[in-house]
Amino acid sequence: MTAFLAKTPPETVMLVLVALAALVAALVGAVVTLAVAALRRPSEPPHDPAVDDLARLQAETAGRMQAMGEALAGRQAELARVLSERLDSVSSRLGASLETNTQQTVDRLRNLHERLAVIDHAQKNITELSSHVTSLRDVLANKQSRGAFGQASMEAIVQDRLPKGFYAFQYTLANNTRPDCVVFLPDQRPLVIDAKFPLEAVMAMRNAASDDERKVAAQRIRRDVANHVAAIAEKYLIPGETQDTALMFVPSESIYAELHDGFEDVVQKAYRARVVIVSPSLLMLAIQVMQQILKDARMREAAHQITTEVGRMMEDLGRLRERVLKLQQHHNQTGEDLRQIIISSEKIEKRAARIEELEFDGEDGAPAADVIAAPVPRRLEAGE
């Protein structure tokens, strides 16, 4: 019965109990009706069998009602216990589920908070980068600021790769001109490097909306670059004082690539004027070549000193060899002395053993000479 109640839904069990209660109530009503009808009948002799049957029936009905009441009470208690267990199980599962969901919600909120923090940091970086880009655009919009930016880029490349004393900024030449930078090569003739930034003409070409505007911008680029090349060749190429070639530094890889791709005639014209247009990467390569040239020149200048130092080192090596040989001789002599010391110690050990055994024969077995006792020392008296 307990297994049946455990498997049966609580609603069905309640309906069954209600039906049983109604049935019991109907039986009780019927019994009461019969009892009342029996009491209303005229008195019969005490020994009437109908009265006995009625009493017996009433007693059986009361017993059955009591049994049904006890059974109904037991079923109600069992139902209450099953419902309590069910409610406890549901409460436990509901609590565990709520706890799990709460923990998952907390974890998700924490992850969301971390991601929001990362997004906030990235937003700050983007804002800072935007301000830097804006300030860089403002710098590049001004011609003087743009020139200072190009010169600063060139100075950073030169300072990072050449030792001090081999370059100079704003160096004054014999004609009182001052290029942005000069590098002193081994023949002491400076190589001139001047920074130019033809940004306005290139931007005008990039922003051109029609072919006519693009042609006008291209002519402006050719004119500006040609003017820069002519100014460098005229001011900074001094025969006998500077190198035969000068470098025109363009501090933008994209502008340099655009000049080489679309204005090959301008680049060739610069070559003929002995002016080489270089980008930041090409300037780094040129500086590395200059550094190697200067290193080779210093090696050639120091060749005599190197030869002298090598000779002195060979003399030191010869003296070291002599001292090693002397040390080897001392080591050999020390070995021989140690061998003699070991032989003497062995002889002493053998003599001590013979003395201990009272054997005074010679080493070859011959009897030893008589042992003369040592004189007993005498104390000197006063006056002797």
Position 115 in a domain: yes
pLDDT over 60 at 62, yes or no: yes
Indicate if 253 and 168 belong to the same structural domain: yes
Please state, in angstroms and rounded to a whole number, the distance separating the CA atoms of residues 381 and 310. 81
DSSP 377: P
C-beta of residue 45 within 8 angstroms of C-beta of residue 58: no
Position 370 in a domain: no
Position 380 in a domain: no
Position 131 in a domain: no
Average pLDDT in the 10-16 region? 60
Q: Read off the pLDDT of residues 89-118 as tens digits, 9 standing for 90 and up.
A: 888 888 888 888 888 888 888 888 888 888
Q: How many domains does the chain have?
A: 3
How far are the Cα atoms of 324, 328, 348 from residue 337, in angstroms, in the given order? Answer: 20, 14, 17
* pLDDT in the model for residue 37: 60
Res. 44 pLDDT band, cuts 50 70 90: very low
* pLDDT in the model for residue 250: 85
Pairwise pLDDT comparison (380 vs 56), residue with the higher score: 56
* pLDDT in the model for residue 365: 47
Q: Read off the pLDDT of residues 148-164 as tens digits, 9 standing for 90 and up.
A: 667 788 888 888 888 88
Position 139 in a domain: no
For residue 371, the SS3 value is coil
C-beta of residue 197 within 8 angstroms of C-beta of residue 150: yes
Of 76, 101, 119, which residue constitutes the final position of a domain? 119
Alpha helices in 142-163 (DSSP H): 143-161
Indicate if 271 and 314 belong to the same structural domain: no
* pLDDT in the model for residue 7: 53
Position 124 in a domain: no
Q: Read off the pLDDT of residues 250-259 as tens digits, 9 standing for 90 and up.
A: 887 878 888 8
Pairwise pLDDT comparison (11 vs 205), residue with the higher score: 205
pLDDT over 70 at 371, yes or no: no
Indicate if 295 and 317 belong to the same structural domain: no
Alpha helices in 193-302 (DSSP H): 199-206, 211-236, 253-262, 264-272, 280-301
Indicate if 48 and 173 belong to the same structural domain: no
Indicate if 94 and 210 belong to the same structural domain: no
Indicate if 291 and 316 belong to the same structural domain: no
One-letter amino acid of 181 = C
* pLDDT in the model for residue 66: 78
Which residue is associated with the tokens 């306005």? 200
Indicate if 41 and 159 belong to the same structural domain: no
Pairwise pLDDT comparison (107 vs 32), residue with the higher score: 107
Q: What is the pTM of this model?
A: 0.44
Of 271, 301, 331, which residue constitutes the final position of a domain? 301
Indicate if 165 and 195 belong to the same structural domain: yes
* pLDDT in the model for residue 370: 47
Average pLDDT in the 327-353 region? 86
Burial of 179 (0-12, 13-18, 19+ CB in 10 A): buried
Indicate if 198 and 293 belong to the same structural domain: yes
Indicate if 297 and 314 belong to the same structural domain: no
* pLDDT in the model for residue 8: 55
By C-alpha distance, which of 167, 159, 154, 185 is closest to 295?
185
Strand order in the sheet with 167-169: 167-169, 181-184, 190-195, 246-249, 275-278
Indicate if 217 and 172 belong to the same structural domain: yes
Indicate if 219 and 242 belong to the same structural domain: yes
The residue segments making up the domain with residue 347 are 310-351
Res. 130 pLDDT band, cuts 50 70 90: low
Average pLDDT in the 76-81 region? 80
Joined together, the tokens standing for residue 22 give 């109604």
CATH of the domain at 237: 3.40.1350
* pLDDT in the model for residue 372: 44
